[in-house]
Amino acid sequence: VPRSTWDAVRFRERVQDLIGDLVDANVIDPTGWNQRAWLTGLHEVPRHLFVPDRAWAQAFTTTGSDHAIDKATDPTGWWNAIYQNYSIITQRGDGTADPRDPAAPPSCSLSCPHISMAFLRLLDVRDHHRILEIGTGTGWTAAMLGWRVGDSRVSSIEVDKELAETARVNLAAVGHAPEVVTGDGADGLPHRAPFDRIHVTCGVRDIPQAWLKQVRPGGAIVAPYMPIAGAGGHQLHLDVVDEDHAVGRFAGASGFMMLRSQRAHMSTEDGEDPAELTVTRLDPRLIAEADGGAQLVIAAAAPGLVVDTGWEQHADGWSYVVQLASLDGRSWAKCLAPRGVDEYEVLQSGPRRLWDEAASAYRSWLLLGRPGRERFGLTLTASGQQIWLDSPGGLLGEGDRSSP
């Protein structure tokens, strides 16, 4: 039996199971034709043709565990990871590290099916739409979009030259050739505008104004919004009102690798400012592991935060630690939570008191009655971004809340 026949059998069995999972988890409602189309797309655009023989499978849920995959030594494991709920990391360290080295930062992945299908659903595509994708990656999403509306109506931008080239090869293997441009997606693609949809498949903290200008009124930008570096993200659907305004709401959670120019690292300057020591009774885990709604309140009140958590060893044992920094590195805070203490020590330094800002925002979220992520939205104008509760302008404050 030729190998391709086995592959066809492996593919058919697994894609059918995946479709069952997506329907059971309410990611896709098969009773609506526009959503059901994406399930057909899974048959038409085989995910495995976008995955190299050796890569890294990162589990979406805690029932799976992260592991290296190798088609030559464990073909069953390779096939299973691709058609189960894993994102498949195909590049790390912008191409300088082995994709199977978990110590290096991931820089490209084929996103896990539950998240990529949720985003395609949120995109709400019609047959005649012209679509721009930001972050071609492996090319799978571009192929799905090309399959849905026709390749001539899809453009995709990838910042990494080698990834763009691999994506073109992958796309050709499934018989698609949407335009793949190598460049910075933050600029959009002005000469191809206007678009009906911009589909962003990398994380953004500040939504570039160029995108607003390149979507026709009534069109939409769909993106993983990731306002706090190091924390999770939020699926955002923005309706474009005109070239200076977009308004939208958050759907589910989503963690993505950031748009390259918006990457942030925990950096703290050892400036002149001595660190101030205070104590708090608020468990720092509440800030570090905040619920989606709480994260959005913190992001609105304390813009431009970087968060990191870990453990530190001290004379009397291990201590859980939450670190906060401002994007400019000038302010930082550190909260230590050793086991068995009633109060936690907080060190803060720099022009901002980041712990106080985050803790006060967390308390306001409690006072609001713990509203969930779906009750929040975002307005984007020429002067910046504003997060709101329930309706545009609602409760979370005035003015420009974009990152400083």
Rounded least distance, CB 339 to ligand SAM, Å: 37
Residue nearer to ligand SAM on the CB measure, 142 or 247: 142
**Does 86 participate in binding ligand SAM (rule CB under 6 A)?**
no
**Burial grade of 340 (CB within 10 A; 0-12, 13-18, 19 or more):** exposed
Residue nearer to ligand SAM on the CB measure, 73 or 261: 261
Answer for which of 84, 201, 214, 326 binds ligand SAM (CB under 6 A) is 201
**Does 56 participate in binding ligand SAM (rule CB under 6 A)?**
no
**Does 147 participate in binding ligand SAM (rule CB under 6 A)?**
no
Residues 151-170 that bind ligand SAM (CB under 6 A): 157-160, 163
Answer for which of 89, 202, 212, 288 binds ligand SAM (CB under 6 A) is 202
Q: In what order do the strands lie in the sheet with 106-110?
A: 67-70, 54-59, 86-92, 106-110
Q: What are phi and psi of 300, to 5 degrees?
A: -70, -40
Residue nearer to ligand SAM on the CB measure, 212 or 290: 212
113, 22 Cβ separation under 8 angstroms = yes
Residue nearer to ligand SAM on the CB measure, 107 or 295: 107
Q: From the candidates 87, 111, 319, 331, which is the catalytic residue?
A: 111
Residue nearer to ligand SAM on the CB measure, 208 or 371: 208
Residue 331 annotated among the catalytic residues of the structure: no
**Does 206 participate in binding ligand SAM (rule CB under 6 A)?**
no
Residues 105-144 that bind ligand SAM (CB under 6 A): 107-111, 134-135, 137-138, 140-141
Which span (7-15, 61-69, 254-262, 327-335) binds ligand SAM, by CB under 6 A?
254-262
What is the contact surface with ligand SAM in residues (CB under 6 A)? Answer: 107-111, 134-135, 137-138, 140-141, 157-160, 163, 184-186, 201-202, 256-257, 259-261
